[in-house]
């Protein structure tokens, strides 16, 4: 492609249009999350005392996690010039808090999830969790208005915490219980 054609294509693909790529700090270099390796980079994530929620889809459109990564690229954790992203997830960092976002590719029940875990100081981790939820909600509104999904919160009791697969509660149901006292 000629230089002008490349600029036009990148402009269409970039964060402001189709959310297929984002520009790195070194101008002229771009990352397209859907072209990244499928396996995550090695990293340590101490999740004790963290917050967790899941978006569960009976049908998840392709590219949803890629758009999320593009939208939140300014928060991607960087260490020694390397970013902690892969095709199906990312580690984000904001004000001393870490968030792990992972799309499950398959499940025995047929659904797919975007799982989000956030750790750090109580006040700040809620802010990061809100940023992530708002970005996902905005993607739904902008591109997938009629998508069906549930927001699930895992049980955080001592018994559930030590089990390999804690019970999941729908956020709507929990909010109804809180309102009922």
Each residue's pLDDT tens digit in the chain (181 positions)? Answer: 777 776 777 766 666 667 888 888 877 788 889 999 999 999 888 877 788 899 999 888 888 999 999 999 999 999 888 899 999 999 999 999 999 999 986 666 778 899 999 999 888 999 999 999 999 999 999 888 889 999 999 887 778 777 777 888 898 888 888 889 8
Residue 115 contacts residue 52 (beta carbons within 8 Å): yes
Q: List the one residue out of 112, 107, 113, 73 whose CA is nearest residue 90.
A: 73
Helix (H, G, I), strand (E, B) or coil at 57: strand
Q: What is the pTM of this model?
A: 0.86
Distance between CA atoms of 101 and 104, rounded to whole angstroms? 10
Distance between CA atoms of 169 and 176, rounded to whole angstroms? 12
Distance between CA atoms of 17 and 3, rounded to whole angstroms? 19
């Amino acid at each position: 492609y000629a230089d002008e054609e490349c600029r036009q294509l990148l402009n269409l693909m970039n964060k402001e249009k189709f959310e297929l790529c984002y520009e790195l700090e070194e101008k002229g270099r771009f990352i397209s999350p859907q072209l990244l390796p499928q396996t995550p980079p090695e990293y340590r994530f101490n999740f004790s005392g963290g917050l967790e929620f899941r978006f569960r889809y009976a049908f998840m459109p392709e590219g949803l996690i890629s758009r999320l990564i593009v939208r939140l690229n300014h928060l991607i954790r960087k260490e020694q010039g390397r970013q902690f992203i892969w095709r199906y997830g990312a580690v984000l960092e904001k004000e001393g808090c870490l968030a792990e976002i992972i799309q499950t590719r398959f499940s025995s029940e047929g659904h797919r999830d975007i799982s989000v875990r956030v750790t750090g100081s109580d006040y700040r981790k809620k802010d990061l969790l809100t940023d992530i939820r708002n970005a996902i909600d905005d993607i739904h509104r902008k591109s997938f208005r009629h998508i069906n999904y549930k927001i699930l919160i895992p049980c955080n009791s001592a018994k559930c915490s030590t089990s390999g697969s804690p019970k999941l509660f729908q956020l709507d149901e929990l909010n109804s219980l809180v309102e009922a006292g």
